[in-house]
Amino acid sequence: MKKTDLLVIGGSAAGVTASLTARKYNKDASITVVRREKEVLVPCGIPYMYGTLPEPTKNIIPDNLLLSKNIEIVVDEVKSLNRDEKTVTLSKGEKIGYEKLILATGSIPAVPPIKGVDLKNVFTVRKELSYLLELMDALKKAKNVVVIGGGFIGVEFADEFTKRGLNVTIVELLPCCLQLAYDEEFCKIAEDKLVERGVKLKTNNRVEEIIGDGKVEKVRLSSGETLEADLVLIGVGVRPNVELAKNAGLKIGELGGIWVDEYMRTSDENIFAVGDCAEKYSFFTKKPSALRLASITAREARIAGVNVFGLKRKNIGVIGCFSTIIGDLALGVAGLTERAAKEAGFSFVVGRAKAPDKHPAAMPECKEMQIKLLFEKDSKILIGGQVAGGKTVGEVTNILSSLIEKKTTAEEVATFQYGTHPALTCSPISYQIAEAAEDALTKL
């Protein structure tokens, strides 16, 4: 029987990052990654295989990233985990023993109970190259595409599909697309851009039935409207893949993920869990959180990758920091929206600022950037921020997340030290983060 010091189950972002982190701090340990997929996709790059990237193979994580660090890769499926023996059994019966184990089994696409969901040309978003190539082939013969779900997955796929000249409609149950991530005014900015790019929006609506004779032909909505459809993409989120952990008797959390402590340990001290399969906890309330993002995955993996050989790092909970782009419009959010802050019981003040993202505004590719910040009323601590503008939005959002994590006050945000350059940032006179904090201070 093969034995390894550290066994990692799962070879996507969580497994790769955990393995590489463990290797940085443990040069001599034997590390083995077991994964089902022959090729591992960059998860967040999947929508961009259909409009932006020149070919699907450009969205693959190279094996040499692990092999060059003396990390062994086994392409197989783990069928069972024996915690008493500290072994796993692969699909062909082979066993691997471990000293420490990291579960990075990811998530499974959520599929709503819709009649006709099993028809041909109805797709979910799987992290499997062969399956996604089937979607690519089906798109080449399609004209009318219906995307179920107006969250990040649905919006990004819809925007990419427009680049192929397809007639695209998003059906969203909530009043706005991206409503779980942004406040209404930012959702409206996103929706206006989607419509400008040719996407039709059916919000406050749900798919009642997918109709077709073996293959999708139409989609019937709760409003009574029927849409022509050659292809349907379901993008309504994911659920944690916890079957292996559950069968091994590990504790499962309130929201269905593998329970973990602040060190990313499961209920078995020799087993850690990271990424989409692990339960998340809010930075703000410490309650279970449904957030599942690649950036959260990588952070958890860096914590567990160090802790497997000695507890050093703690997980303080998820802030929620993410961004997206629709055409030339980028949107970002860090921390709490107004709706989420109210639900969590916070009393807050809002600060706003709007200015060109370069200076002077005549600089090439200059875009207007607007920022909205939320400060807790009593402590004046930053608890949330939303941004809309050009491509610099992504890194501005990351700055906001860092300020939130450090519990920065409005005064500190207004006077924090930043650098500016005409081609890279807005003017130092009107730097939006500082200006939004100043706006909030006038109301506090």
Beta bridge partners of 354: 370
Q: How many C-beta atoms surround the C-beta of residue 201 within 10 A?
A: 18
Cβ(239)–Cβ(110) below 8 Å: yes
Q: DSSP letter string over 161-172?
A: HHTTT-EEEEE-
* Burial zone of 141 (CB within 10 Å; 0-12 exposed, 13-18 middle, 19+ buried): exposed
Sign of torsion over alpha carbons 62, 302, 8, 278: negative
**Dist CA 372 CA 389 (whole Å):** 12
**Beta strand ranges found along 223-328 (DSSP E):** 226-228, 231-234, 238-240, 271-273, 280-281, 288-289, 321-326
Supply φ then ψ for residue 237, to 5 degrees. 110, -170
CA distances 433 to 383, 388, 399, 422, Å, are 13, 12, 9, 17
Concerning whether 44 is annotated as a catalytic residue, the answer is: yes
**Encoded tokens for 97:** 């023993």
**Encoded tokens for 255:** 């929201």
Q: Select which of 44, 177, 187, 321 is catalytic.
A: 44
**Dist CA 129 CA 250 (whole Å):** 30
Type of residue numbered 254:
E
Catalytic site positions: 44
